[in-house]
Structure formats: C-alpha cells, structure tokens
Structure 1
Amino acid sequence: MATGTSRRTVLSAAVAVAAGAGTLSASSALARPMLSTPEGEGVERRGKPRDVDNRFWASATDWRGGSAAGIRTVAGPRPGVGIARPRGSVDHTDPHTGRTATWEYATWTSPPHRPRVPATEVIASWNADTPAGTWLQIELRGGYSDSTSTPWLVMGRWAAGDDDIKRASVDGQSDGRSSVWTDTLAIDDTASGPRIDAYQLRLTLYRRPGTRLTPTVWRLGAMASALPDRFTVPAAEPRYARELDVPRYSQNTHIGRYPEYDNGGEAWCSPTSSQMIIEYWGRRASPQQLDWVDPDFSDPQVAHAARFSFDHQYDGCGNWPFNAAYAATYRDMNAVVTRLSSLADAERLVRVGIPVITSQSFVQEELTGAGYGTAGHLMTVVGFTTDGDVIANDPAAPTNEAVRRVYRRREFENIWLRTKRYNASGKVSSGTGGVCYLYWPERSTPLQRKVLASLGIR
C-alpha cells in the first residue's frame, strides 16, 4: 500500500514561520538588488497563455547570461558551471550531524525570469555532479506583482553522496505571504494574496578549502504554475496507443529494509519509480556503488535509490527535486520536475519513448483496480491502450510481476490533474495538479527533443 505524504497535503496546512530562516551566512551576505525583469521575457506572445511555465538554464549562452562570482563556464557537449576561484569561505554546521566544517564557495545567479502567468507555486530542479568534498545550495527569490520580492529562500542543500553533508530541504522559511514547503515555494493565500510574476535562482557551490575540487551543474531551472482550483478536470480524447518496455520494481518487496530511509520500502514509491526509468534508459548502479546493500536483499538498486534521494529534513524519499537530481547523477541523464496540463501531453511523451512519473492522491474507490488509497503516491505512466486507458508501472504491488496495471483513463486523469479532492474523512484536501518527473538522455532523438521543447523543456 502506498503511504507517502502528499506534497499538496503539506502545502495545504497553515503555519506561521519566521521569514528567511536557515539560510547560510555566506549567501545572505550577498547583495540583494530589487528583482526586475526585462520587458517581454518569458511572455507568451501567441495563443492562449499556459498555466505552467518551465525555464531551465542549460546552454553555454544560458550560463554566460547569469551573474557569476568565482564561477567558470565548463565547456563541452554538456555546458555547465563550476568553481574557478572561491569568493570566500564559510563555517557551516550541518543540522543533521552537528558537525561544523569550513567550506570555500562561489556563486552563480540567474537573470530574472517572468513566467507566462503570475504563479502561485514555483518548484526548482537541477542536474549536477558533486565529487566527494563538494556540495551545492539552490536558492530562489520571487518577485511579487506589487514590485516587492521575497528574501532568498533555500530550495535545497544537495550532494550526490551523504558523507560531506546530509542532503536536506530547509523548514521554516516564509515572508508572511509565501512559504517554502519542502521543495515548493507557494503563495499562502491564493484567493487574495499576491502572485509571483518573476523569480531568480541562485546557485552556491561549495568545496573543501585548499583543493581544486568543484561541483559541476549543467541544468538549473524551475517550473512555475498558476492552476485553477478544481475537483475535476476536462477530459482529453485518446490519440496514441503505445506501451514502453520499462523495468518493473515493487516497493513492497522492500518493506522493513533500511527503515532509516523513510521507513523502508513501505514509502519508497518515488525512488522505486525513478529507478525503473533510470534502467529503462540503460543506466544502472555499479556493483561498487551497491556494495553497502545487504547481499541477501533483492533489487539492491532500489535501496540505493532510496538512500541517495533521501531528504534528511523532510525525513523521507519523496522530495521531488531530490529524485530528479538523483536520476541525473547517471551517465548523460537529464531530469526535471514539472507539471503537465493534460493526459494528452503524457500521451505525446510516451509516443516518442519518454515515460512519465506522476504524483497523485486518491481514496480507494477513485481508482478502480488499485486496491488502496493514498495521501500521495508516485507511479510511472508507461503506455496507453487502444481505448486510451493508462498503463502504469505502479510500485505499490506485492511483487515485481504485479507492478504493471491498467487504470481507467478518466479516473487516472482526474486523480492526477486535479488540485482539490475529498480525502478518506470526507474533508477537502489538495491534489498535485499534474506534477511529474521527466527523465531523458542527453542523446535523445529529434522527435523527443521537439516534444519536450513544446512543453518548455530544453
């Protein structure tokens, strides 16, 4: 049974927290000019504006367009940024180990970006390599429609490993109008509050003092959205039938294993789904990477995915950007967190060979054949039948062989894309509004790139 906590459930809670808590002194000491946006950037010029906007910095031109302090551009087929000459050092105490260490740092700040429509939520994601002795921090500053802005807010402290720091989100960040909920910056009052009509991202790279080590980041960006509140969504007519040959892994075969990572397999829907897609693209963890896993355990790569996507603050494996960042640690892989506007978008992706990891919540009666209800669960859309029904690799299965499910199109469409729902107690709760992970290799086909670009992902 899927038992993970929905990020939308967390977002719907009301709390009062202190503004800007938990940022590193090295970053907060940087200048904070008023957020401004070049006229017309990011604005939809033709057709109806979308309610989802993606902006990712990934090209050499993108990296040169930002503001760098101690950063160099890394050339090659995957342009990125790394540390050239540190701008200073900072003592950082890891709240999850209690250890204090000194780190050199350098920063890169994106130009302001204006989403197509003023947003109520922004989710950042990134792809990076962090050798031992390095890590990075991602911050976001939102600009409101009244020309004020949020402080810099930490969207994640991340490393591919877990020896130097404990990868973690940061709780307790708010300015009284919007708050960070684990991995999502959200407007507190979407009915009468302000909207985020621009944002910037700031990347801080850290390394051990006196070394030539550096993290390398080759993709950084965010998905901004302004979805209408809705219990049901418009139906999309089926168009394409195809099933992708995606490996099948059950989270439930791992129940009781490594409970320090989100209570074991019982709540590993997100990393289990991620691992299925990583292997679909022909990537696997090496025997050396898996030598920490008990040799008596089957599918050790699933435990590996859980450990290295685990958020030590959230205390779970369900941090959306951390799963994407984990997937991107594999050779030449790209990964983003976004939203899709309809099931038709998922069909187009599957048609060109790109599976879609979807996030949804539902009571048992809402998804025929699932056999469970959940406040938040990840599964992978791997195909569509000739009738348009959804073929999903659902990790909430008793065995690997039972992972493949066929779900009714209209039911799946609604539980995934809606923003409001009634929970098992009959109370109004939140839905994910089409959140998904997309993973694809650097050497993708022209058709795959075309479909991704149509969704604003380049």
Structure 2
Amino acid sequence: MGPVLTVDLAPVAFTRFAVPGAALRGGEAWTGEERAVGFAATQLVPSWTARTPAGCWIEVELRVRTAERPSWSKWYVMGRWSEHGDPRTSVPGQGDGDGDVAVDTFVARRPVVAYQVRVTAHGEGALLTGLGVLASAVPPRPVTTGGPSGGGAVELDVPRHSQHAHAGHHPHLDGGGANWCSPASVAMVLGFWGRGPGPGELAVMGDGDPAPGVDHAAAGVYDHSYQGTGNWPFNVAYAGRYGLSGFVTRLRSAAELELFARAGIPLVASLSFKAAELPGSCYSTNGHLLVVAGVTAGGDVVVNDPAAPDDAGVRRVYPRAAFENVWLRSPGSGGSGGIVYVLHPPDVSLPDSPDGNW
C-alpha cells in the first residue's frame, strides 16, 4: 500500500434490503423493517431497480426517527417511478421540522437515528428487483486519504460518449444533450456490460444519432418535477431495466474506486469543481457525473468524462489528490461527499467492503 495520510471521514452505512420475490398487486405496499443507523445521520438516499409494466408505477417513501424524539416522522415521498415515464418524478414541498426532500436526498433537520422504507405499487405487476438506502453524516470539510495501492495500472474498456455530441437533441429533456452527463455516463456503463435498449427502442430517438443509447437514457431518467436528468436513483432504476443491479452509495477514497476497477466494475461518480481545482478538466461545474474506468500505475484516476467536446477526448486522466478533493468534499463545500452509482450484472461480485458502505 502507498503512504497512509490523516483521514477525516464521516460515517456512512449502506443497507441492501431483501425485496419481495413476486410482483406487487395494485395498491399493495411493502415496508422494510426498521433500521437503526448506528450514528446521527444527516442525509438518506434510497435507490432501487424495478420492472413496471405499462400502466403501473411505484412510489418509494422513507420515514425517520430522530435523536430528539422517539416517534416516527411522516412518510416522505422519495420518488414516483415508472420505466415508461408516467409518472417519473420527485416530489418537492415536503419539508417540516424533521427534514426535507431535495430531489433524490432526504436532508435531515434533526439527526436521524433510524428509518423505514416503503414501496407502494400503483397498477398491477410492479416487480421490485432491488432496494438500498444510503445513510451518512456528511463531513463538514474536505478529506485526505491514502495513496495508491501499488498494484499497477488497471483500465476498463468502457465505451466513450461525449454529452456534447448530443447538443440540441430533444431540448425538452433538460435542455438537450449538453446537460446529459448522467445519462451519458449510464449509457457508457450499460455499453460496457453489453446491455441497453434494443433497435426497436432506439428507433424512436430519431435518425442520424451518433449514439442513440445516450438519448434513450436521457428520456428514461428524466425527472418531470426537477426537470433534469441527474436524479441519482432514477439513473440507477433506468439501468435496472436492462438487467443490471444497482444502487447509490458514498465511497470514502480513491482506494475504494480502485477496488471496483480491479474487480472489473466501472463506477459513475458525482463531483463539482472549478477548472483550476481539477487539472486537465478545462471546465468548471456546479454538478457533474463521469465514469471512473481505472487508475494509472501512479494512482491517478482514469475516467471517461462526457464533458469532453467529442468522443475522442472522453478518456482523461485526473490527478488522484485533486480528484479526491473535488469528489469527496461535502455538499456544504461544493462536493457530493463521494457519491457513486454502482451498476453491475447480478452475477458479477462486488469487492469486499471494508467500511460497510456497499
């Protein structure tokens, strides 16, 4: 292992629930058991995969117990989801003294010590195939972590798609391709696994598209309330349509990114930065997603960055320490706190988790 530096990391706990093996009937609700967090959590993010036949959708909710009072909060709607898009929406305006829902994240106003999750089917035949909840206490300041593993370079052969190659496409979807970093990243990961929409599904995206899978992903993840394509669990749920298991979690270092790359699993990472903070990026962003495809022999992070102007420039190498800084720092400091989408076929095993965060 490389040198170990001082680490200032906040608690993270990820729970994967055992979901029903049969489709839910219309109006039927499944409620997970109460989960103690084990620390005072400040944010909760559920994520799921499900199959929803035409005319069917699911509603995913959370309720919490706080450190200040033992009774349950109300149920907060964390998303209404249909793979056909009717509905596919977050629900604003739910805030109260316990917390609020910021698109895809429950933000606590009182520290959360336990929670429950509930999924309700509307229409017949909804099949919940995966469900997880990320609980975390977001760090108040940037973190520092260990150096490279010394295991040598590893790089996964992930297809390369620039979001800007889709500029002007379907502008009703988050302004068009120039804003599609998240669906472009998910389309790259689906392509890596040989999954994704078939010719019939892609035909509806129009002729002359350089990578219609990106457009299809944008249409398939679009949040009608948020009016954007960056809703984290919606992107995971879209990948679940094509047989991938998936969830949202927070990782704690580039060393954990490296574990996944060495296990053959590319990740989608969420980060924000000024151009000077991430050498080689040549742009600034208030929120961006890209694919982590590996590390160099020296430990720098190999990515497929859809913000490149064209497909040829998508592969980039970002300095390890700079990447960790802009990715791991807290939302209060302008980062995501280490958010990733983990998307993989069910028969591909994840690496061992040293900290219980996947």
**When the two structures are superposed, what TM-score results if normalisation uses the length of structure 2?**
0.93
In structure 2, the residue matched to 1:199 is 115
Return the match for 2:341 from 434, 437, 444: 437
Q: Structure 2 vs 1, CA of residues 377 and 290 (structure 1 numbering), >3 Å: closer, same or farther?
A: same
Check if 1:155 corresponds to 2:78: yes
In structure 1, the residue matched to 2:154 is 242
Check if 1:182 corresponds to 2:88: no
SS in structure 1 of the partner of residue 202 of structure 2: coil
Cα drift, residue 138 of structure 1: 0.2
Letter in 2 for 1:141: R
Q: Cα deviation per residue 1:218-245 (whole Å; 9 max; x = unaligned)?
A: 2112100012200x31132101321111
Q: Cα deviation per residue 1:250-282 (whole Å; 9 max; x = unaligned)?
A: 000101110010000111000000110111111
Q: Is the 8 A contact 2:268 2:289 kept in 1?
A: yes
Q: Cα deviation per residue 1:79-138 (whole Å; 9 max; x = unaligned)?
A: xx4225xxxxxxxxxxxxxxxxxxx41110111001132200000001100011211000
Q: Structure 2 vs 1, CA of residues 335 and 453 (structure 1 numbering), >3 Å: closer, same or farther?
A: farther
Q: Is the 8 A contact 2:251 2:357 kept in 1?
A: no
Q: Structure 2 vs 1, CA of residues 420 and 56 (structure 1 numbering), >3 Å: closer, same or farther?
A: closer
Letter in 1 for 2:145: A
Distance 1:296 1:201 in 2: 43
Matches within 5 A, 1:135-146: 135-146=57-68
Return the match for 2:278 from 337, 361, 367: 367
SS in structure 2 of the partner of residue 344 of structure 1: helix
In structure 2, the residue matched to 1:119 is 41
Q: Cα deviation per residue 1:301-335 (whole Å; 9 max; x = unaligned)?
A: 1000000000000000000000000011102x101
Distance 2:76 2:331 in 1: 27
Distance 2:248 2:353 in 1: 13
Q: Structure 2 vs 1, CA of residues 359 and 305 (structure 1 numbering), >3 Å: closer, same or farther?
A: same
Matches within 5 A, 1:415-434: 415-419=326-330, 429-434=333-338
Q: Is the 8 A contact 2:139 2:337 kept in 1?
A: no
In structure 2, the residue matched to 1:97 is none
Q: Structure 2 vs 1, CA of residues 397 and 449 (structure 1 numbering), >3 Å: closer, same or farther?
A: closer
SS in structure 2 of the partner of residue 137 of structure 1: strand
Check if 1:55 corresponds to 2:33: no
Q: Please provide the CA RMSD for this pair.
A: 1.7
Return the match for 2:186 from 261, 270, 274: 274
Cα drift, residue 411 of structure 1: 0.4
Q: Structure 2 vs 1, CA of residues 181 and 408 (structure 1 numbering), >3 Å: closer, same or farther?
A: same
In structure 2, the residue matched to 1:93 is none
Cα drift, residue 150 of structure 1: 1.9
In structure 2, the residue matched to 1:170 is 91
Distance 1:166 1:219 in 2: 19
Q: Is the 8 A contact 1:136 1:205 kept in 2?
A: yes
In structure 2, the residue matched to 1:288 is 200
Instruction: Give the length in aligned residue pairs.
Output: 348
Larger Rg: 1
Distance 2:337 2:250 in 1: 7
In structure 2, the residue matched to 1:258 is 170
**When the two structures are superposed, what TM-score results if normalisation uses the length of structure 1?**
0.73
Identity between Structure 1 and Structure 2 (%): 41
Q: Is the 8 A contact 1:367 1:412 kept in 2?
A: yes
Check if 1:215 corresponds to 2:126: yes
Give structure 1 stretches of 5+ with no counterpart: 1-48, 64-72, 75-80, 85-103, 189-193, 208-212, 422-428
Cα drift, residue 56 of structure 1: 1.3
Q: Is the 8 A contact 1:178 1:187 kept in 2?
A: yes
Matches within 5 A, 1:92-103: none
Distance 2:351 2:249 in 1: 17
Over 3 Å off, 4+ runs: 452-457
Q: Is the 8 A contact 1:150 1:175 kept in 2?
A: no
Return the match for 2:29 from 83, 103, 107: 107
Cα drift, residue 452 of structure 1: 5.3
Distance 1:405 1:350 in 2: 15
SS in structure 1 of the partner of residue 122 of structure 2: strand
Distance 1:302 1:286 in 2: 13
Check if 1:449 corresponds to 2:350: yes
In structure 1, the residue matched to 2:225 is 313
Letter in 2 for 1:393: N
Cα drift, residue 355 of structure 1: 1.0
Distance 1:233 1:395 in 2: 26
Q: Structure 2 vs 1, CA of residues 50 and 431 (structure 1 numbering), >3 Å: closer, same or farther?
A: closer
Distance 2:228 2:24 in 1: 31
Distance 2:79 2:271 in 1: 23
